[in-house]
Amino acid sequence: MLRFLALLPLLFAASVASKEAPPAAADPVLEKRVMALAEELRCLVCQNQTLADSNAPLAEDLRNQLREKMREGRSDAEVVDFLVARYGDFVLYRPPLKATTVLLWFGPLLLVAAGFAVLLRRLLRRRSIEVAEMTAADRKRAAELLAGTQGERR
Amino acid sequence: MTMTRFAIPIAIFVALVALLGIGLKLDPREVPSPLIGKPAPHFELPQLRETTRTFTERDMRGKVWMLNVWASWCVSCREEHPVLLDLAASGAVPIYGLNYKDKREDGLAWLKGMGDPYKLSIYDFDGRVGIDYGVYGVPETYVIDKAGVIRYKRIGPLTPQIVKEKVLPLVRELERA
């Protein structure tokens, strides 16, 4: 037992040493940043895939560009601007709010609002029909019909 | 009553069909380029034939010219090639080629076999200049004015109709400016 305890510090030493070992990937932090940003960007060749997903040669080139710019110390926003300057807002999966994209952003809300307006109008109209009071004449006629005195006029 | 009752839903349906119909007609590959109206990005690349000599867009200051991005692996370029040859023969506008992500010998073999409409071609092996020009679907064509500003971009092959209706009138207008 004592001998085992004596070995314990060695175990810790080993774990410390293993932490200091260089990471296998070139730079996992940078790689993570590249992939996180690439998830937000559209591949121009296969338009419904992100730059991160796509295997198109252009997507690969663009990922390399992202990596290179980031290594130069550019911020995410600067890298995105670099791509937008070349390919337009279309590369962004979250397009900016501009005059040309207002309909894109608020169109669905507008449709929902229109739907609610129609629904509300319908409901109000239905209520006004149901609420219609019977007149005294109506009541009298109904009573007669029920009693069968007059029946249908022949 | 029944007429008006159905008129509104039918009108909405027809409008929706029309909207979707227009959507089908649009080509999602035609992404409007943010480069139109902007100065052509700077490049200085070796030429395809004369490997020791370079060419830059600055050499073309004061001229209206056309930059055509092509590659020997590009199928649509084959379709476009006769149109470029005709345009080059007419002498309406000087055409310069950007050989994009190609093997040099393949590019040269292509020009030898199919004819060379270009004043010269530059060689963009790693596609870096292509990225600066926002290239993503070869062939692509740019018309650049005397001040070095991009005035027109076509993604995909040029057709005789596009050359006649868009490119030539624009070149004529820019020449006058």
Q: How many CB atoms lie within 10 A of CB A32?
A: 11
**pLDDT computed for residue A6 by the predictor:** 58
Supply the mean pLDDT for chain B. Answer: 89
Residue A148 to residue A142: CA distance in whole angstroms: 10
Domains of chain A: which residue ranges? 18-96, 100-147
Contacts of A84 in chain B (CB under 8 A): 34
**pLDDT computed for residue B122 by the predictor:** 92
Residues of chain B where predicted confidence (pLDDT) is lower than 70: 1-3, 28-31
- The pLDDT profile of chain A, 154 residues, written as one tens digit per residue, is 555 555 555 545 544 444 444 444 567 888 888 888 888 888 888 778 888 888 888 888 888 888 888 888 888 888 888 888 888 888 888 888 887 788 888 999 999 999 999 999 988 888 777 666 778 888 888 888 888 765 555 5
**pLDDT computed for residue B67 by the predictor:** 94
Q: Are B117 and B85 in contact (CB under 8 A)?
A: yes
Nearest residue in A to B32, CA atom: A88
| One-character DSSP codes across A54-110 | ---HHHHHHHHHHHHHHHTT--HHHHHHHHHHHH-GGGBSS----GGGHHHHHHHHH
- How far off is chain A from B123, nearest CA to CA, in Å? 17
Query: Does the CB of A90 have a partner CB in chain B at under 8 Å?
Result: yes
Nearest residue in A to B128, CA atom: A61
CB–CB contact A87 B127 (8 Å): no
- CATH of residue B143: 3.40.30.10
- How far off is chain A from B19, nearest CA to CA, in Å? 14
CB–CB contact B131 A90 (8 Å): no
- For residue B2, being part of any structural domain is answered with no
Architecture of domain A18-96: Orthogonal Bundle (1.10)
Query: Does the CB of B148 have a partner CB in chain A at under 8 Å?
Result: no
CB–CB contact A88 B34 (8 Å): yes
- For residue B27, being part of any structural domain is answered with no
What's the angle, vertex CA B106, arms to CA B104 and CA B107, rounded to 5?
65
**pLDDT computed for residue B72 by the predictor:** 92
State the residue range of the domain holding B91: 36-176
Is pTM, for the whole model, over 0.80?
no
Query: Does the CB of A48 have a partner CB in chain B at under 8 Å?
Result: no
Judged by CB atoms within 8 Å, which residues 13-52 of B form the interface with A?
28-29, 31-35
- For residue B125, being part of any structural domain is answered with yes
Overall domain count for chain B: 1
**pLDDT computed for residue A137 by the predictor:** 87
**pLDDT computed for residue A24 by the predictor:** 44
- For residue B17, being part of any structural domain is answered with no
